[in-house]
Structure formats: C-alpha cells, structure tokens
Structure 1
Amino acid sequence: MMSNMSIEDRREFFRMPVDIAVRIDNQDDDYSEPKRYYGCIRNISGGGLKFQAPAAFPSTRPLSMRFSLPLNDDHEQPERAFSLTGIVTRSEYDEIENIFTYGVKFIDIMPHIQDMIVKFLFGLQILAKKHKSRFFSEAETKV
C-alpha cells in the first residue's frame, strides 16, 4: 500500500482546490452518440483534474470535458473556455452522497493550453497568499 506522500510525489503538477462547473461528454462506444453530464471540478492542475458527478464513467474510454477558467481581470474576456480530453485514473463512489469522484489525466493537451491552466493556478496561489496574510494582519490587530 502506498502512502499519501508517495502519491503526492508522483504528481508532475501542483493541484489547486477549486469549485468549477464542468460538462462531461461520454461516448459508450464508437457508434453511439455521446451522452452529456454535468459535474463540479474539485481540484485542477496542468496535468489533470478531480471532479464529482452523479454518473458512472468507465476508465476504458476518454471523457470530453468542457469548463471555463477566469484567466485575468480583463473585462472584455474575463473567462476562457477549455475543451479537453482525459482518461479516468481513479474513481470512488460515495453511497451516502450518491456521487462519484474521479481523478482524470489530460491526454493530448497542447502545451499552450497547459500553460494557461498553470498560469491560472499561479494566480490562485497569489490570491490565496494575499488573503491569508490579510487575515493574519487583521487577526493580530484585534488581539
């Protein structure tokens, strides 16, 4: 059994917790029309993501995922839509919540798209640090 530390060490990209809507298109076989589902991305990195959805997806077929990320403060284009393909690498089912959680690795992602996602994550890290330092400075003044 692997420890959590060894799993973390295998990751090539830093993951950041998020709460982003995602549309998943899943094709059961080569002849059927894709079925559309909706879920929520729980974390994302330049190499993949974790999402939750009420549907069961096989690990044998790629999933098409569509979601948007706010890339900058530009009011003319505040979000960028991404359409990426991934393969399920891990899945869990929560019987109490009646929801599936999936780990997905991006496949055939273009480097400039991957760079946009990584840039988004760096922006989130900077915001998190600013809010954390502001929180601590406010807490110190109240003591």
Structure 2
Amino acid sequence: MHDAMKLALAAMFVAVSTAAQAQEVKGADVFRAACAMCHQAEAQGAAGLAPPLKGSYWDKLAKTGTYVPGVLLAGMHGQITTDEGPFNGVMPTQNRLADSEIAALSNYLVQDVNGVKSVPAVTADEVAKLRAKTPSVSELRALRKQALAK
C-alpha cells in the first residue's frame, strides 16, 4: 500500500472517529427532550403528575442494574412511594428511544441527578438485551419492592 493511501485511510479513520464522538448521546439532552416536560427541568417532579426522579432510594434502585432502563422500556403505572410521598399515575413507555439513548438517560438519572457513582454504567448492549425481553410493570414493581427492602 502506498504511503499516500495509508495517510488517506488514517485521515478518514480520524474523521469517522471524531464524527462518532460528536454524535455521542448525552443523557441530559435525552432527559430534556423526553422527560423534563413531566418530571420538570431539575427532575424534581410535579405534584399530581409525575414523581421526582431523585431521592434517597435511587442508590438502591441503581444497584439492580435493570430497574431504571426497564421502566424506560416498559413504562410504569400505579402507586409508587418517593421521599415526597406516594404518587399514583401513568408513565408511558419510552421504548421509542434508541438503546444508546436509554443507556445514556439511565446513567444520567443515576450518576448525575442522584450522584450514585458506585454502580457500573448501563450500556446500550445491556439495554438491547433487556429490550429483547422487556420486564412487565408488575415485574418492575416487584424489583423495586425487593431493592428498596434491602
């Protein structure tokens, strides 16, 4: 292979890598586009509409690894208890989001909004596997109950 061709291929690789990095999904951007309307800009929730997405229990939920992306994929309905008290509502599924967006959003909620840095980040591959067998709302409720009991 000629040196010029090697240089051209190397330049193309750098350009593709730079473009891929520029398109990296940001959890905060996904949150603003998909969640903030109901859960508010600072994830504080809205009385009678949507529970807060931050609180003392998030470290326990994050340790499950599947609860947060599972809720994004399946949605949630019925009563849940938060630090602000009980909420009873319906969250529609966000399964229209790409696996990378759900992973980024899950990580944003856990790590950035709630400051839980002790758990591994959710990956797009893990979301794809979970999407292939999305848990039901009743399974997610049971997982939540089990996680919060610990």
User: Would you say same fold, with TM above 0.5?
Assistant: no
TM-score normalised to structure 2 length: 0.25
Greater per-residue helix proportion:
2
The normalised TM-score by structure 1 is 0.26
| Larger RCO, structures 1/2 (Cα 8 Å, 6+ apart) | 2
Compare the two structures and name the one with the higher strand fraction.
1
